[in-house]
Chains A and B, each alone.
Chain A
Amino acid sequence: MFPNKILPYLLVAPQLAITLAFFYWPAGQALYQSMLRQDPFGLKSKFVWFANFRKVLADPAYLNSLKVTVVFSLSTAIVAMGVALLLAVMAEKVVRGRGLYRTLLIWPYAVAPAIAGMLWLFLFNPSIGSLAYLLRSLGIAWDPLLNGTQAMILLVSAAAWKQISYNFLFFVAGLQAVPKTLIEAAAIDGAGETKRFWTIVFPLLAPTTFFLLVVNTVYALFDTFGIVHAVTGGGPGKSTETLVYKVYNDGFVNLILGDSAAQSVILMVIVIALTAIQFRYVERRVHYG
């Protein structure tokens, strides 16, 4: 260890200055404001303890956006992980061309979520999208701009599409870690391929699956703001208004500061819970000394 007295402080100073100015101070402000209520003219504010939280949690619009978020996050995680697992299992089987398949499957990772959303909307736009045209010629009344369920399907497709590459890479790594001897022993005992997968491979993949579930949930909760903002703007009606979109909308567009701050704090609690779960159950392989 180096014995310097001042140097280590200088080394951590830049990072610390940024976290204090842009993380801790604003987070503290959000906490403080979540307990204030402004009069309609924005002139005076009053300390109201938890009244904003009570108001937000009793608000049907908020409960709706909570429901929307749960549906959206779970669907996105399940679709993105299911497709990725299927592809990873297939990629484990082939020998020839494995590297090429990987290259061709990973690049949506580099596409910004908002752009992914816009591309999908372009494909499925009722007036000019070719796939919307296809759906209509199959007799499906397709209009994601008017139909809430269809708008949700579109968002989930775009969000899941973008996340397949990420999950694929982790499932491939997870599958490679499954001991081949176990699988061979099961094969000798006469277990067929499907049975081997569900009784040996899938349980051994559990840590990877659980880790990805947390990561995908966080992704669907936060990183998909761009998709919602660019594609549906929360609509039609409020059928795709997620929690993060609502915080943004109430705070920046409708300027209801107290409510928006209370919503921020609720989100903060959700993130803390998810991070705690991630580190408590997923991080066992890492040793923080």
Chain B
Amino acid sequence: MIGQSPLRIFIAHAMLLLGIVVVAFPIYYTFVASTQTLQTILKPPLPMLPGDQFWNNYGEALFGGVGRMGGVSVGRLLLNTTIMALGIAVGKIFISILSAYAIVFFRFPMRMVFFWLIFITLMLPVEVRILPTYKVMVELGLIDTYAGLIIPLIASATATLLFRQFFMTIPGELLEAARVDGAGPWRFFFDILLPLSRTNIAALFVILFIYGWTQYLWPLLVTNSNDMNTIVIALRKMVSFADADTQWHLVMVTAMLAIVPPILVVVVMQRWFVRGLVESEK
């Protein structure tokens, strides 16, 4: 081990602290703004310490804010976003683990064709097929529904590849032993494969939950009614920078409510998050 001079260590700490300040500042500033009165926000510079309007602002946004976002409460927006994020995370894991199971543990005609069909979807993000996908949604009557927000996003090449890779590391002997003991495909799946995949599922869940929570283009396309907006889209609608009427203190509260849940998920499940990120991108 090479010795590090105390000065260099000190510089390293200083740089890291500076990095944290840069990274944290926009969010801290938003929090500070969310505890000020509208008048204070409109007269920059903003104080660097939280104000005394925390209860007022959060109370008004959560319970009195009806009408400010097209008659939709923040609770409803959070509910929509949570349903979408959970639906996408669970749905992607569910259909990916099934297809990976079929592709790795069964031999059937067209197996590789299916694999490639799933794989190629990597190259077809929503952005390259916006209009025709929107048309399909209209024809299927999926506009302004939870199904419309969730189902088209749950096909997942990445998750399928990840499960496939993991399944291929499971020794063939394990499968043979299970079969000798009389386990059928379902038994093998539920009693052996699923418990072994627990960490992978947890890791993937964190990544996919964040993915679902932060979606923008898709909810923008498939929701017309304010009732079905996600909180990110609703926030965009609340903000009009040219407009003097923007209720900045409430916008800031809504922004905090939109960013805190996914941040909590990342921080609390950090171990799985880091693992999932590094693994799923390999």
Contacts and interface: CB of A to CB of B under 8 A. Distances in A.
Given A83-B19, A229-B220, A4 B98 contact: no
Contact of A229 (B22, B26, B236): B236
B71 interface: no
Nearest to B152: A22
Interface string B96-117: 1011011101111001001001
Contacts of B265: 110
A260 B131 contact: yes
A247 B15 contact: no
Contact of B130 (A23, A132, A252, A288): A252
Interface in A104-159: 104-116, 118-123, 125, 128-130, 132-134, 145
A27 B127 contact: no
Interface string A19-43: 1011111111110010000000000
A215 B280 CA distance: 13
Nearest to B24: A104
A248 interface: yes
Contact of B255 (A103, A115, A125, A244): A115
Contacts of A260: 130-131
B192 interface: no
B128 interface: yes
A222 B281 contact: no
A109 B210 contact: yes
Interface size class of A (residues with CB under 8 A): 35 or more
B235 A187 contact: no
A272 B125 CA distance: 10
Interface in B159-176: 160, 165, 168, 175
Interface in A172-204: 173, 180, 183-184, 187, 193
A265 B128 CA distance: 7
Contact of B9 (A94, A222, A257): A94
A18 B227 CA distance: 26
A166 interface: yes
Interface stretch (B40-48, B53-61, B195-203): B40-48
B263 A30 contact: no
A26 B136 contact: yes
A44 interface: no
A237 to B, nearest CB: 16
B272 interface: no
B121 A271 contact: no
A46 interface: no
Contact of A128 (B41, B125, B154, B258): B41
A111 B263 contact: yes
A226 B217 contact: yes
Given A18-B154, A113-B214, A123-B26, A11 B44 contact: no
B124 A119 contact: no
Interface stretch (B27-35, B62-70, B72-80): B27-35
B258 A115 contact: yes
B168 A183 contact: no
B19 A111 contact: no
A248 B15 contact: no
Interface of A: 1-2, 4-5, 7-9, 11-12, 14-16, 18-19, 21-30, 33, 83, 86-87, 90-91, 93-94, 97, 101, 103-116, 118-123, 125, 128-130, 132-134, 145, 161, 164-166, 169-170, 173, 180, 183-184, 187, 193, 211, 215, 222, 225-226, 229-230, 244, 247-248, 251-252, 257, 260-261, 264-265, 267-268, 271-272, 275, 283, 285-286, 288-289
24 contacts: A7-B185, A16-B118, A26-B129, A29-B132, A30-B129, A94-B12, A104-B20, A106-B270, A110-B210, A112-B259, A113-B214, A113-B216, A114-B235, A114-B236, A115-B214, A129-B44, A133-B44, A226-B216, A229-B216, A248-B217, A252-B130, A264-B130, A268-B129, A275-B123
Given A1-B106, A2-B185, A110-B214, 8 more contacts: A27-B132, A30-B128, A30-B131, A106-B274, A110-B210, A116-B26, A123-B26, A286-B165
